[in-house]
Amino acid sequence: MKSRLLILIVFAIGMGATTQAQLNNYKYIIVPKKFDIFNKENKYQTSTLVKYLFAKKGFNAVYDDSLPEELANNRCMGLRVELEDTSNMFTTKMKLVLTDCQEVVIYKTPEGISKIKEFRDAYKQSITSAFEPIQFMDYTYEAPAKAPQPEVTEEPIVVSFKNDVKSVGEKPNTKVVQQVATPENQSFKSMEPVASNMKKVEKKAETTIPVLYAQPIENGYQLVDSTPKVVLKMIKTSVDNIYLVDDDTKSGMVFKKGDKWFLEYADASGKKQEELNIKF
């Protein structure tokens, strides 16, 4: 019995090392804004949670509608994550499934289980539990080795001076002229190129607003950056898309205007307003 248990442990360790080596071949984790098991985007904040878990572990996690240029040009650099729901009436059961660009399953986690009745908390607990095996992997992206280039044998250069009437060391005449010399018309015009006085205009660097990721907390959200570090806490109000700022250093509110989010607060210098780039 003991020997059988030892074999199972060694097999599990070997499988973990093999999976880790496979994941090291991929630079990105692609997180859908809407998982196939749901009928709308980021339902119960599942997309936000999955992206946060992978980013916290050190993976380069991106949403499927905002791929970096190199990933958009080569989808095989990333793995797409999906949720597999095996829940029943009393228990929420979730698995994370990672597939490559050919839709081949590279890794599937064990079931994460929750018996919480409230859907949002149940999905959060079961997804976090399913992610635990990945949490203990030592992931480091390893770029594929480039194929060796064939050696190029250069053919010898043969120079012939058979019809060259110029003497050795003579510098070529770089001046070009147009000349007319007849009894009726005498003219001389230099065709030598003239240096341009046009100056190159340097492009101004565009200012980008850092992305902040909204994570659900009690009565609202907390905004974290890519490190991840909590930047701001927002408390829900009775009005949609308006939140109170829960911060010891500033008081104000976060609100949505059109398609953009803004932070409005007051400090010693007066009232201020900043644009935020929030991903829910």
Express each pLDDT in 34-86 by its tens digit: 999 999 999 999 999 999 999 999 999 999 999 999 999 999 999 999 999 99
- One-letter amino acid identity for 220? G
Residue 122 in contact with residue 112, Cβ under 8 Å? no
Q: Residue 25 phi/psi, 5° resolution?
A: -80, -5
How far apart CA 34 and CA 82 sit, in angstroms, is 10
**Preceding omega of 228 cis (within 30 degrees of 0):** yes
pTM of the model: 0.48
Beta bridge partners of 178: 189
Q: Summarize the confidence of residues 181-185 as an average pLDDT.
A: 55
Residue 250 in contact with residue 259, Cβ under 8 Å? no
- One-letter amino acid identity for 253? M
Q: For residue 232, what pLDDT is reported?
A: 82
Q: For residue 245, what pLDDT is reported?
A: 84
Q: For residue 84, what pLDDT is reported?
A: 95
Q: For residue 62, what pLDDT is reported?
A: 96
Read off the tokens for 65: 């509608």
Q: For residue 251, what pLDDT is reported?
A: 75
> Between 222 and 127, whose confidence is greater?
127
Rounded (10°) CA dihedral 96, 125, 54, 11: -50
How far apart CA 35 and CA 105 sit, in angstroms, is 16
DSSP, collapsed to helix, strand or coil, labels residue 202 as coil
Which residues lie below 8 Å from residue 68, measured CB to CB, with a gap of 6+? 28, 62
Q: For residue 5, what pLDDT is reported?
A: 37
Q: For residue 8, what pLDDT is reported?
A: 35
pLDDT tens for residues 245-275? 877 777 788 898 888 989 888 777 778 888 9
What ranges in 43-186 are assigned the alpha helix state H? Answer: 46-57, 69-73, 119-135
Q: Summarize the confidence of residues 200-227 as an average pLDDT.
A: 78
Angle (CA) 235-239-245 rounded to 5° is: 25
Q: Summarize the confidence of residues 207-224 as an average pLDDT.
A: 85
Instruction: Identify the helix (H) or strand (E) that includes residue 279.
Output: strand 270-279
Q: For residue 10, what pLDDT is reported?
A: 39
- Cα-only R_g, the chain: 32
How far apart CA 44 and CA 186 sit, in angstroms, is 89
Q: For residue 237, what pLDDT is reported?
A: 84
pLDDT tens for residues 8-33? 333 344 444 456 667 899 999 999 99
pLDDT tens for residues 124-176? 999 999 999 998 888 889 887 765 665 655 666 565 555 555 544 555 555 55
pLDDT tens for residues 80-121? 999 999 998 889 999 999 999 999 999 999 999 999 999 999
